[in-house]
Amino acid sequence: MIAREWKCRIPEIHSEGFTSYLYETGIKDSSATPGFLGAQIFRRSLTGKIELTLITYWDKLASIKAFAGDNISQARLYPEDEVYELEPDLTVQHYEVIEHQFLPEMRG
């Protein structure tokens, strides 16, 4: 399994709107690509801004290439990003997942 990590920063006022937009663009497009296994979004507060980290999970590098194009290290950005005053990382990182463990959902 391969994890693909991308980060961006946005003004706090755009936090909720951008998260919804991220689902409608990057998550929607990646999840429609064969080989996509899942995604997580992390959020942390900075001074006046929010940093979001998107990690998508893939079965192999060829699947990422089908989503991202030949240069898989280049971030895939969207024309409407500027509406959210996005400060995107222009590159992404890829990691081989050597261990993953999630506990079953606890039911009350």
Q: What is the pTM of this model?
A: 0.88
Query: Which residues span the domain enclosing 23?
Result: 2-96
39-44: long-range contacts at Cβ-Cβ below 8 A with a sequence spacing of 24 or more?
A: 43/15, 43/19
User: Residue 108 domain-assigned?
Assistant: no
What would the pLDDT profile of 2-60 be if each residue is shown by its tens digit? Answer: 999 999 999 999 988 898 899 999 999 999 999 999 999 999 999 999 999 999 999 99
pLDDT of residue 94: 97
46 or 99: whose pLDDT is higher? 46
Query: What does the DSSP 8-state code read for residue 70?
Result: S
pLDDT of residue 15: 84
User: Residue 103 domain-assigned?
Assistant: no
One-letter amino acid identity for 86? Answer: L
pLDDT of residue 52: 95
User: Residue 106 domain-assigned?
Assistant: no
Domain containing 28 — which CATH number? 3.30.70.100
Lookup result for tokens 């998107």: 54
User: Residue 102 domain-assigned?
Assistant: no
Domain count, the chain: 1
